């Protein structure tokens, strides 16, 4: 399973990349705003900065909600760096834009996916990735993991190339459950990625090893 980090924070991106296990980055307009990145030039420069840190796919989201606007924005984003993936919302205009980009060989990430029907439509349009929002489904008392499993089944039935990018991941169990289901990618915060390393028996065992080594080397 590929690990993407879901943030526009350059320090978190650098930290995750330094771990050596980072495969890519996803952002969205809310994450950019959270970092205080506003205005078209600043936003484009921020994507350039992210692409300098990580050698892997970087999702950059369009703001337009109609086909021509999405195409204009998406082409500008794609021209920034070969690793840019144009992130497009799961609306009918977005499906047309995904089809357009797919025909041109430009990679896309269909975002805001909350149902199997949406995932099917995006795959038929040729999306490179689809982003089902796991945590946001859990937030409304619907099991987000069930959706990931349903999409996995559908994509495997027809051998769709579209990759399932589990998004809105909130904690390490989401990551483990996504790996069990066979999600191609997960994107989550640095905290969830780092938390995978935690185990009290590891800490205890290491403490004991170091204490025993110190005793023997007095
Ligand atoms: O980038 C999309 C998604 O990962 C957002 O996550 O935590 O805002 O639901 P969240």
Q: Which residue has the least CA distance to atom 5 on ligand 1?
A: 168
208 CA to middle of ligand 1, Å? Answer: 40
Confidence at residue 218, expressed as pLDDT on a 0 to 100 scale: 81
Q: Are 100 and 77 in contact (CB under 8 A)?
A: no
108 lines ligand 1 (CB under 6 A): no
The tokens for 108 are 């896309």
Q: Is the CB of 135 under 6 A from ligand 1?
A: yes
Question: Could you tell me if the CB of 29 is within 6 A of ligand 1?
Answer: no
Q: Which residues of 65-76 are buried (b: 16+ CB within 10 A; e: fewer)?
A: eebeebbebbee
Question: Of 2, 76, 87, 96, which is the active-site residue?
Answer: 87
Q: Which atom of ligand 1 is nearest to the CA of 111?
A: 2
Q: How far is CA 60 from CA 8, 120, 168, 179, in A?
A: 10, 22, 16, 25
For ligand 1, is residue 177 a contact (CB within 6 Å)? no
The pick from 168, 170, 175 for probing ligand 1's pocket by mutation, whose C-beta has the most ligand atoms within 8 angstroms, reads: 168
pLDDT of residue 61: 98
Taking residue 10's Cβ as centre, other Cβ atoms within 10 Å add up to 15
Q: For the CA atoms of 187, 33, 107, 149, what is the dihedral angle to 10 degrees? A: 30
Residue indicated by tokens 């977005």: 94
Please report, in tens digits, the pLDDT of each residue of the chain (218 residues total): 999 999 999 999 999 999 999 999 999 999 999 999 999 999 999 999 999 999 999 999 999 999 999 999 999 999 999 999 999 999 999 999 999 999 999 999 999 999 999 999 999 999 999 999 999 999 999 999 999 999 999 999 999 999 999 999 999 999 999 999 999 999 999 999 999 999 999 999 999 999 999 998 88
Hey, how many other C-beta atoms are within 10 angstroms of the C-beta on 217? 6
87 is catalytic: yes
CA 99 / ligand 1 centre spacing (Å):
24
């Amino acid at each position: 399973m590929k690990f993407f980090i879901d943030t526009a924070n350059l320090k978190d991106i650098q930290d995750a990349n330094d771990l050596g296990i980072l495969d890519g980055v996803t952002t969205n307009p809310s994450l950019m705003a959270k970092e205080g990145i506003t205005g078209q030039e600043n936003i484009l420069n921020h994507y350039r900065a992210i692409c300098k840190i990580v050698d892997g796919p970087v999702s950059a989201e369009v703001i337009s909600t109609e086909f021509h606007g999405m195409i204009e924005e998406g082409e500008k984003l794609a021209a920034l760096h070969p690793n840019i993936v144009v992130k497009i919302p799961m609306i009918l205009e977005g499906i047309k834009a995904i089809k357009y980009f797919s025909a041109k060989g430009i990679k896309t990430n269909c975002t805001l996916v909350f149902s199997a029907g949406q995932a099917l439509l995006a795959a038929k349009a040729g999306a490179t990735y689809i982003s089902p929002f796991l945590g946001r489904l859990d937030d409304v008392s619907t099991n987000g993991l069930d959706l990931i499993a349903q999409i996995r089944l559908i994509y495997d039935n027809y051998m769709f190339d579209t990759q399932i990018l589990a998004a809105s991941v909130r904690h390490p169990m989401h990551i483990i459950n996504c790996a069990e289901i066979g999600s191609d990618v997960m994107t989550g915060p640095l905290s969830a990625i780092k938390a995978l390393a935690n185990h009290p028996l590891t800490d205890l065992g290491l403490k004991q090893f170091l204490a025993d080594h110190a005793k023997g080397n007095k």
